[in-house]
């Protein structure tokens, strides 16, 4: 049911969760250099759920790493929740990352020797914040793992591990959550649970989620999809449906092929 009271505010700078301006990132040097991001400019509003899609190697993970402050772009500006990440020192960046962003990886990245509760509060510990047992219990209950606090990761299914990873990403109350193929290793049912949790983080708790995925169904949980090809933005789709996303993806492949073909033709003429 629509209440009619949820008006969208003007997307002024204050409503911006993430802004990238002309972000470039190259790996390697000179003859072996690979341009992973080739001048990305984008803006995402607070309280939005965005999927990032594109062929393998198109720069999706690099985009997330640079946006989350896990990696530094060669040039350009990254601003999260109004704070510029680029330009500051390493300590400052680490402090910011620990306090304001959450990250969920495809392979969970849990520490096997720690319990579920200990894994969950690890970001608080690293940030030197008070470890609130109650907070861990609450956040684990919210992902359906309130009865697994003392378990170790190897006693959990893949879907449960990923839910611990989501709890860990939520525990610091981050403004933005970045997820890189969070459902990539999961069965359909566990994937759906993880996607529902991410959507709930946005809808109920007003967080901003940016999620890389290969799966058109996963992308359809988002408000919008950004398409990436060769390190550049190649389009945006609002209110994505699985069919529309799949069609656009196939088309993206066509375009890349056409460009490669054109390149071949040009060099053949030289």
Pairing of strands 232-238, 224-229: antiparallel
Residue of the chain from 48, 58, 61, 120 that contacts Mg ion (CB under 5 A): 61
Min separation Cβ 128 and ligand ADP, Å: 29
Q: How far apart are the first and last CA of the chain?
A: 63
Q: By CB under 6 A, which span of 58-66, 92-100, 141-149, 251-259 interacts with ligand ADP? A: 58-66
Query: Is there binding between residue 58 and ligand ADP (CB under 6 A)?
Result: yes
116-126 vs 158-170: helix crossing angle, rounded to 10: 30
Q: How far is the CB of 36 from ligand ADP (least distance, A)?
A: 3
Strands 49-53 and 224-229: parallel
CA distances from 89 to 72, 92, 123, 174 (A): 11, 5, 20, 21
The single-letter DSSP state of residue 231 is T
Q: Shortest Cβ distance from residue 55 to ligand ADP (Å)? A: 7
Site string (204-243) toward ligand ADP, x via CB under 6 A: ----------------------------------------
Q: How far is the CB of 212 from ligand ADP (least distance, A)?
A: 7
Examine residue 60 and tell whether it contacts ligand ADP (CB under 6 A). yes
* Shortest Å, Cβ 25 to ligand ADP: 8
144 in Cβ contact with 163 (< 8 Å): yes
* Alpha-carbon dihedral sign for residues 195, 201, 204, 207: negative
Number of chain residues interacting with ligand ADP (CB under 6 A):
12
Distance CA 195, CA 202 (A): 11
Strand order in the sheet with 16-27: 34-45, 16-27, 75-80, 83-84
Among 20, 44, 47, 61, binds ligand ADP (CB under 6 A): 61
**Residue 36 binds which entry of ligand ADP, Mg ion, none, with Cβ cut-offs from 5 to 8 Å by kind?**
ligand ADP
CA angle 210, 105, 108 (to 5 degrees): 140
Q: What minimum distance in Å lies between the beta carbon of 45 and Mg ion?
A: 24
Residue from 14, 34, 239, 262 in contact with ligand ADP (CB under 6 A)? 34
Positions touching ligand ADP (CB under 6 A) are 27-28, 34, 36, 54, 56-62
């Amino acid at each position: 049911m629509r209440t009619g009271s949820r008006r969208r505010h003007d997307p002024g700078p204050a409503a911006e969760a993430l802004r990238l301006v002309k972000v470039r990132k190259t790996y390697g040097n000179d003859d072996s250099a690979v341009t992973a991001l080739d001048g990305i400019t984008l803006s995402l509003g607070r309280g939005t759920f965005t999927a990032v899609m594109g062929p393998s190697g198109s720069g999706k993970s690099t985009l997330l790493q640079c946006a989350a402050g896990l990696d530094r772009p060669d040039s350009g500006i990254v601003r999260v929740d109004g704070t510029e990440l680029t330009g500051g020192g390493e300590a400052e960046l680490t402090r910011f990352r620990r306090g304001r962003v959450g990250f969920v990886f495809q392979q969970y990245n849990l520490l096997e020797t720690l319990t579920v509760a200990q894994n969950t509060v690890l970001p608080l510990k690293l940030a030197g914040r008070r470890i609130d047992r109650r907070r861990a219990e609450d956040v684990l209950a919210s992902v359906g793992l309130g009865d697994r606090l003392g378990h170790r990761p190897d006693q959990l299914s893949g879907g449960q591990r990923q839910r611990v990873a989501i709890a860990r990403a939520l525990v610091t109350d981050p403004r933005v959550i970045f997820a890189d193929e969070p459902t990539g290793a999961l069965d359909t049912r566990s994937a759906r649970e993880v996607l529902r949790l991410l959507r709930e983080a946005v809808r109920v708790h007003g967080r901003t989620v940016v999620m890389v995925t290969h799966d058109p169904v996963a992308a359809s949980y988002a408000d919008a999809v950004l398409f990436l090809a060769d390190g550049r933005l190649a389009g945006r789709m609002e209110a994505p449906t699985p069919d529309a996303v799949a069609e656009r993806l196939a088309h993206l492949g066509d375009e890349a092929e056409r460009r490669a073909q054109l390149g071949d033709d040009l060099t053949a003429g030289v």
